[in-house]
Amino acid sequence: MWDKHRYLFYRDINTMVSYKPQFKTNPRAKDVMITRLRLGHVRLKNTFYTIGQAADPNCKICLVPEDINHFLTQCPRQGQLQHQLLKKCGYRQLDFSVKTILNEADCMDLICDHLTTNDIYLYLFIIKLVHIVHIK
């Protein structure tokens, strides 16, 4: 069953839900990355707090809830990515918001490239081996 909060987050980003693929990206890992960002299935403190795995949901630097919006548009740790996204949105006269950047192909490419080249992908999306050992 869908968590109501996560459903609303996705609904804010994508108002028209369809069974047809909205974007076709290659390689598939990029598509998975964007889909997980849209659904909120990432390893940020707010997610861990929601499932009882963290004491507080706040970013270590900003002391506000570390969710996808904060991670992509506000946190100074992602300043380089935010600068690139702001530039892209300004050039195309788009609003700088999570809704925009997770629906624009150019912005999604920037996000995937940034997360991959800075090894943030491993931090956000890959389950730690410790969790796998405990499951078995």
Please check whether residue 47 is in contact with residue 40, taking contact to mean a CB–CB distance below 8 angstroms.
Answer: yes
The per-residue pLDDT for 2 is: 44
Q: What is the pTM of this model?
A: 0.70
If one counts every other C-beta atom within 10 angstroms of the C-beta of residue 28, the result is 8
**Better-scored residue on pLDDT, 79 or 119:** 79
Rounded Cα distance, 42 and 36, in Å: 6
13 vs 110, higher pLDDT: 110
What pLDDT does residue 52 have? 87
Torsion, Cα of 96, 97, 102, 105 (10° steps): -20
Q: Is the per-residue pLDDT at 4 higher than 60?
A: no
What pLDDT is attached to residue 117? 85
